[in-house]
Amino acid sequence: MDLAFLHPLYEHPGPWASVYVGTSRHTEDTPHERHLAAVALSRELSRQGADEDTCRAVREALEELRHSSEPHGRALFARAGQVVLDPPLTRAPDGDSAHWAPLPHTAPLLELAGEDPVCVVAYVDRKGADFELRGALGRQDAGSVAGRQWPVHRTSSADWSERHFQLRVENTWEHNAAEIADALAVCQEETRADLLILVGEDREKRSVHDRLPKRLHDLVVEAPHGAGSRLLDHDVERARADHVRQRAERELERFLAAREPGDDGRAGAVESVPALVEAAREHRIDELLIRPGGPDAHREVWIGEEPDQLAVRRTDLKILGEQNSWSARADDALIRSAVTTGAPALAVTEQEVPVGGLGALLRWK
């Protein structure tokens, strides 16, 4: 998961209110239920010590969701009487929750808003293609491309006089496939799509696939449906889920392999809070891995004002020259460090990996 969208949260000091609220349930009583939830969550923040202005800002933002038709939910991060960030969720939370802490509680986003691959669905035929942008929050038109319109069909004659015509048909197909591939590559670059799904007859799909730049080949999925089919939501969701699962499996395999020291005697991955804290201080985290519910995730660490000021013990920060310090969850502190150094993060579901629930692939200068 690219964490760049979290930058605004680390441009201001804490403490922070972090709220997760579901919007997937819709009944006649929903507006009233959401009003009660807004009141309850703001009271919970007040109980935890949040200031009145921040509680009011959160309550008002939640009240605006009373009639929302968002399919999953919303996270809100607020401080000093202002909601700074309110990203939509791509999965509904198990329940509404509110946290007041020195750092924003961003770790749940890895599961609830992370790995939302954007797809471009290309409906391909011999004359061109229509592109459709699909994501967790809906679909929208992404353009089209029209190739040569004639000739595109073979004749049934076996007469030698038809050979020239047949050759022109082949040339038309190849020309159109190249144009579609070029347009699809541009569409992917503009939308930053994570997945390209080709729909159409097998020959046309394969022709387009083969003409795409090699850098895109691993992003392509050929749908099993034939020409004229329109992908249903569950087809797209299956492709998106497969993409997320396969990527997580690859990264986990890379992590497992990197735990062993290389020829230089250094390991390319670490786990355990002390090792991760040291890597974060030295800006060596290349990718952060978090297993939700792991025991180390909520372990206490100590943080200073800067993202690389963190330690296992409070006295360690003082030795490093940091006079002001606060306790924080290990996962939230490591995410802050990852955001400021441009490292992505990944939620993994393996029961015992990483050990303790936190790990990282390392970069070496």
Cross-strand bridge partners of residue 360? 270, 288
Q: State the Cα–Cα distance between residues 295 and 270, nearest whole angstrom.
A: 16
φ and ψ at 84, to 5 degrees? Answer: -90, -35
In this prediction, the residues of the chain whose per-residue pLDDT falls under 50 are 149-161, 163-167, 169
Q: State the Cα–Cα distance between residues 122 and 119, nearest whole angstrom.
A: 10
pLDDT at 321: 67
φ and ψ at 270, to 5 degrees? Answer: -135, 160
Neighbours of 221 (CB within 10 A): 20
Could you tell me which of 97, 100, 23 has the C-alpha nearest to residue 54? 100
Q: State the Cα–Cα distance between residues 347 and 342, nearest whole angstrom.
A: 17
pLDDT at 29: 75
Q: pLDDT for 131-177, tens place per residue?
A: 888 865 567 777 777 755 444 444 444 444 454 434 454 556 777 88
pLDDT at 125: 80
The answer, as to whether pTM is greater than 0.85, is: no
Q: Which helix (H) or strand (E) holds 145?
A: strand 138-146
pLDDT at 10: 95
pLDDT at 365: 59
Could you tell me which of 114, 91, 103, 96 has the C-alpha nearest to residue 290? 114
Q: pLDDT for 64-116, tens place per residue?
A: 998 888 888 999 999 999 999 999 998 899 999 999 999 999 999 999 986 67
Residue type for 292, please?
Answer: P
pLDDT at 229: 56
Tell me whether strands 128-135 and 119-125 are parallel, antiparallel or unpaired. antiparallel
